[in-house]
Each structure stands twice: as structure tokens, then as C-alpha cells.
Amino acid sequence: MGRVSSRHKVVRIDLDGATTRAIDTVAGEEPLEIRVGGTTFTVTMRTPGHDVDLAHGLLRAEGVIAAREDVRSARFCSDLDSLNVLDVQVTRPAAGEAVTSTRNLASLGGCGLCGTTAVEAVEAATAARPPEVVWAAGAVASALEELRGRQELFDRTGGA
């Protein structure tokens, strides 16, 4: 499965408290630091794969590049976490000038990590996790009922 998805043993808890053991497939998500000419542009969370396309689209949307020809190369940094830091070299000076300072793009994500300025910031934020918490089945079921009551969109779409 690798970086795109992984399988985990889970215990499914129905709203009535009944439990079932299962294997669940979970989409992978990792930070991607996008640099332009060696300067950090932004960090976004993504499911690994198609990272160069993602960077090109984001840089195009932000006005850093206007066309495919504005990109000389896009390479993962070999001296760092090589699959999470992508450096894009641009061909025209105006494109590089668009990145005059670190960008904090407006990104919405449940984890609050999108738009940070470096992969290291993401790692620091996720490293300070509390110890394992054990929840009673009834507490989980009542929390789900409470959430569903406040998130009508989730019942219609499966996401919020």
C-alpha cells in the first residue's frame, strides 16, 4: 500500500455500542513543502503522488508561473526528507520575483497544518501528541450522536 494508503486494525463501534473488529484502509496524508528557486513558498498537506502536478497548479494559480514553459525543473530535495520537499526552478526572472517572502496561503484543513512555512513546523506540531487515550464505547457513541446532530452536511455527504 505504501504512502498513498495504509491498512489498520480497527474496532468499529456502532451507535448502539456493538463492536466489530475489522481492517480499514486509510488514505495517506503527508506535508509537501514547495520551494521556488530554493525559497520556501508554502507547505500543504496532500496524499502523496502527482506532487509535481500539484505544485505546478498551485504556482500557476498564485501567479508565480504563467505556463509550463516557466518551469525549468521540479526536483525533490535529496538532502532532506526527499519525498516531502519539492524545489521548482523557474526560467523567467519575473516568476521567481513573485516569491519575495515566505507565503502563508489561505488553506483550510481540519488539522490546521496547511499553510505552515516548513515541513519541520509540521513535524514539530505533530510530535507533541498526548499519550494514548482509551475511550469507553458509550462515550464514542454519544460523541458521534452529538456531532451528527450538529453537522447536517456529514449525514448527506459522508464528509464535512
Torsion of CA 55, 59, 65, 67, to 10 degrees: 50
Residue-wise pLDDT for 42-59, tens only, equals 988 888 889 999 999 999
pLDDT of residue 102: 47
Share of the chain above pLDDT 70, in %: 68
Q: What CATH topology corresponds to 30-120?
A: Ubiquitin-like (UB roll) (3.10.20)
The pLDDT tens digits for 68-115 are 899 999 999 877 656 899 999 999 765 555 565 445 555 545 555 555
What is the arithmetic mean of pLDDT over 133-145?
A: 78
Q: What is the pLDDT of residue 143?
A: 80
Strands (DSSP E) contained in 14-159 are: 19-27, 30-36, 39-46, 71-76, 85-90
User: What is the model's pLDDT at position 108?
Assistant: 47
Concerning whether 111 is annotated as a catalytic residue, the answer is: yes
pTM of whole model > 0.75?
no
pLDDT band at 15; cut points 50, 70, 90: confident
Judged against a pLDDT cut of 90, whether residue 160 lies above it is answered with: no
Catalytic residue (one of 15, 80, 111, 136): 111
